[in-house]
Structure 1
Amino acid sequence: MPTARVSSAVMTHPVRRAQAEEMVARLGLGSLALDPDPDGPPSALRTALLAWSRVSEGATHQFMIQDDVAAPDDMIDLVAHCADRFPDDALAFYTNWHARNGGLTRLAALAGAGWVRAVPEEFTPTLAISLPVAVAAEFRRFAEQSADRHDDEVMTAFLRQGGRRSALLAVPTVTEHTGTSSINGHAAQGVRLAVCPASVDDARPQLYEGWVLEELSWVPYMRYGEGYVRLVGQEDVVPVRTHYTWREALGMAGLMTEDAVQDLVRERRPKEEAAAVGRAFGDSFADELWIHCLMLGRQAEEAARRHAPQGAVRGGTPAAERLRQAAVSTVGPAGLSPERRPEVTEAHAELLTAYAWSAVRCGEVLLDRTS
């Protein structure tokens, strides 16, 4: 039995009250945090402040989940066990499949980690997140002074204050975002799903015992069909959301030349699969996805070699291999622009996954050429 005592609340709006009430009943959650000004301007923060205040007496941690998230029936038990392991950290149990934290979590899955430290400049995933109750109270006091309406952005600003650390992101994801509508104005981002979807049975060993990947020298990620690289220390760059293309980052990170990357593309990329991806989503996307996955495989290999505890084995069990497969299965759809994601059929998904793996498996080659 876990020693952490977790109380909980579901963020919701009157238009979704019925599904939120069903979630409370099914998951055994504490209460609803209903938008206190449902007719006012959209604001996730307004409702989040209420959710973080709904702490049960005697609780050590507060878990907040949004109403458009699917979660397993024993979610609170899982959160409590994780809070036992990391009693002082913000723990995010959902990470979107795109952007910097999505790329980072996918990399961590390939490296075999159970948790990864979020980058400090990007929004903190708050769809399903827990905080120690004292930290939740501090967040409320901090956030009450903010004019921002995005609780995930304010959470990042809060965690950067006073020497705090970024949230820990669960690598296997047992929660899932449902639908594409957004009360807070994020519908334009299109389909937004978990980066590494996993069953509870596969996730528990990694969440309870898996190693933690801290910051790397650089992290590849994709957005809107193009590959980028997040560099170490980028939280101090102005503006902090500066995006460096992989071409720009090669020299900045001390990596190989663009010509050397293109040599690998010519030598190792499967031509038939590249042509098929190009026909479906454009030649530019086919190029960017393969090079992104090449860099992803390279950094995952380095993370495993440099940071995994002695004796840790990637893919050493069927469950571990399923997590790696899940992470790679989302990279193609996530890398597309939002308007193209609904076009991905089952056949497309299989093609994109096989194509991505062909590049990821070249990662060791790229690592050895840049070591």
Structure 2
Amino acid sequence: MKIAPDWLADPAAQRVCAMLTKAGYQAWFVGGCVRNALIDAAASDLDITTDARPETVTKLAKIAGYKVVPTGIDHGTVTVIVDGSPFEVTTFRRDVDTDGRHATVAFADTPEEDAKRRDFTMNALYAAPDGTLRDPLGGIPDALAGHVRFIGDADQRIREDYLRILRFFRFYAWYGDPAQGIDANGLAACAAHVDGIDGLSAERIGQDMRKLLAAPDPAPAVASMAACGALLRVLPGAGPDALTVLIHIEEEAGLKPDVIRRLAALGGDPGRLRLTNAESTRRAILRDMDSGTGEVAYRHGAAVAIDRAAVLAASLSQPISQGDLDAARRGDGQVLPVRAADFMPALQGPALGAALKAAEARWIASDFTLTRDELLT
């Protein structure tokens, strides 16, 4: 069986492979790019694996005139840069010891050995430079069926790295078939080892959760996370129900997937996700149920106001109203028709600030219709 994605014809990628094969070593494209080629999805990057040791890859690349960066030399990875394009080249590996977060690896000689240390069968796929596939562990039928399945014993795979719990749900969100349902053995293993999430760094948790919530429809995966206890480990106090409604609202309103909007719908404490200050502020605005949609649009713009209206509607299990959409458009770009100078010199200091604030509140309550003269009366 062969694949023929556009990236396979990339001259730079083929030159990296030729650098290895002409010297008598193996070269295989591996992982996500191969999986995505099978299911006709775009590939974000190209990873290459080989039986050549890192020092050999480095030597061959320098002889060929390519720049080499030792990005993960201890784990067998060097980045070869050809015509400005980076390619991670990793030596076949096998795990020697793991502690749930890090692995001690030894180099291996075949794709079969390398495949056994990977997480899911659909990620243990290899493609030769001519597109010929090599599937040591039955990943092709799983990829085509949307079946996210751990390699070998799910409990063992998770004990090797507890981040694989979150990866399991992330890959289900992106590549799983909701009609088929989540893999029962995998879900049971996640539930049995959910305590392991507590030992993961915020950076690792945040990266995987962001990728999960960016999927077209992450609701089934998040519901499964809640069912096994994983959701409360990463978002204490969160619940999945409003997210399910929000996805339907997004589809009906033509809203693109947005991680912060979806986090706002989930609720809970996002402390373990390491949000930026700007993201935390926006999330707080989207969860503010006291201000009207027009006021939110006036203060933060129509896009934020519509997002906030969508989150509110989702929390109430109802569609976003046309009234909210209209209010967001009316409030966007409005400019308060009075200034502090209009109240001076009669008012100064705190009294001036209070008068200006009261005038703004009246103006917002009037749906931005009161004029300057009316506000000064």
Q: TM-score, normalised by structure 1?
A: 0.28
Q: TM-score, normalised by structure 2?
A: 0.28
Between Structure 1 and Structure 2, whose CA radius of gyration is higher? Answer: 2
- Normalized per residue, which structure has more helix? 2
